[in-house]
Amino acid sequence: MPELPEVETTVRGLNRALNSLSARFIDVWADWKKTIKKPRNFKSFKAGIKKKKIEKIWRRGKNIIFELSDNYSLLIHQKLTGHLLYGYWVRRGNNWQPSGNDILADRVNNYIHLLFFLDNGKMIALSDLRKFANVELWKTEELLASSGFNNLGPEILEKSFTFEKFKEALSKKKGKIKEVLMNQSVIVGVGNIYSDEALWRAQVNPFKKIPDLTNRELEKIYDSLRDVLQKSIELHGESFSDYRDTNGEKGGFDKIRMVYRRKGEKCQCCGTIIKRKKIGSRSCHFCPACQKI
DNA sequence: ACAATATCCTGCGAGC
DNA sequence: TGCTCGCAGGATATTG
């Protein structure tokens, strides 16, 4: 599931592929139009996207933003199983299949529900098994002024995001630390995987509430979070589930994944069996010994 | 004003 | 073998 490192990997991949090309959208195809939330009408969306040039691709939290000509922006959120692929596909019956070696053969790359055709002959495809991804076309000015965009918390990996700012951001909430880390209005980019991994590294119990955390614990969480996200970006993200990079390839975070989906395995630090418990509607993985308090 | 719950989806694995 | 059932989850909407 794409979190900050995965979205960053996708954005870097798209920039590598498109930077020197100044590509332009020439058409859009979709067989699941509900993915497109704005404008709701697919024909309007198509008309809006046609002939627009891609001027810049960046991310804000887990959102991918394509800045387009005429002051428009395309916003894509991959949600749980969505991932953007860059290459060339051919139609086979009701499905699209990648041509040549453009996209790595992989089951999860075969759920193409949205295709953008570019004037360089290539395509940007959204493969999304569970169909939760969102795509929106905005006037750039309106997107940047929207409540959804302005309610997003700070970027954790920004140099200017100091420990003091982290503490200040968290102090707005009183709930369980894991839930607060995943709240996109507090800080952006963290989801179920990296909240579990960072708290294990920091040796802090995910159920512990914000007011009960010591300054030392907050420091450890801040350092662990930044470190684990940075390391995951270097490894091109986590591909345990459906996430793949723009070439359809897996990331390597598995090498340093310590607790997420490791229930029943031994803790790499102390050998205690990793537990899984629910926090809200999400599964939380932790070491009951290392993260006791 | 806040927190808990339902909603969207579909492949997969467990159980019979 | 083949069926059903429950589970996974980010963000938003709705209910308590």
DSSP A2-26: --HHHHHHHHHHHHHHHTTT--BEE
- Does this model's pTM top 0.85? My answer is yes
What pLDDT, in 10s, does the model give residues A59-99?
Answer: 999 999 999 999 999 999 999 999 999 999 999 888 898 98
Q: Which nucleotide has the shortest C1'-to-CA distance from A281?
A: C9
Strand B–CB A132 distance below 7 A: yes
A68 in Cβ contact with A80 (< 8 Å): no
Select from A158, A28, A6 the least CA-distant residue to A77.
A6
Q: Where are the domains of chain A?
A: 4-150, 163-286
Report whether pLDDT(A289) > 70. Answer: yes
Catalytic pick among A52, A59, A62, A257: A62
User: Kind and range of the H or E element at A87?
Assistant: strand A82-87
Q: How far is the CA of A275 from the C1' of B4 (A)?
A: 24
* Distance in angstroms (rounded) separating the CA atoms of residues A121 and A204: 50
**pLDDT of res. A93:** 83
* Distance in angstroms (rounded) separating the CA atoms of residues A206 and A202: 10
- What is the CATH code of the structural domain delimited by A163-286? 1.10.8.50
Select from A46, A26, A60, A33 the least CA-distant residue to A133.
A33
Report whether pLDDT(A293) > 80. Answer: no
A287 in Cβ contact with A274 (< 8 Å): yes
**pLDDT of res. A94:** 80
Catalytic pick among A167, A263, A275, A282: A282
What pLDDT, in 10s, does the model give residues A151-206?
Answer: 999 999 999 999 999 999 999 999 999 999 999 999 999 999 999 999 999 999 99
A100: left (phi > 0), else alpha (psi -120 to 50), else beta? left
Q: Which nucleotide has the shortest C1'-to-CA distance from A81?
A: C9
- What is the CATH code of the structural domain delimited by A4-150? 3.20.190.10
Instruction: Give the count of beta carbons closer than 10 Å to the beta carbon of residue A129.
Output: 17
Which token pair is A111?
Answer: 């759920």
Known catalytic residue: A3?
yes
Protein-nucleic contacts, chain A 208-237 to strand B, CB < 7 Å: none
Known catalytic residue: A141?
no
DSSP A165-193: HHHHHHTT--SBHHHHHH-TTTSBS--HH
Select from A62, A70, A85 the least CA-distant residue to A3.
A62
Catalytic pick among A2, A5, A98, A206: A2
Q: How far is the CA of A82 from the C1' of B2 (A)?
A: 32
Q: Which nucleotide has the shortest C1'-to-CA distance from A113?
A: B9
Q: How far is the CA of A282 from the C1' of B2 (A)?
A: 20
DSSP A241-253: SS---TTSPPPSG
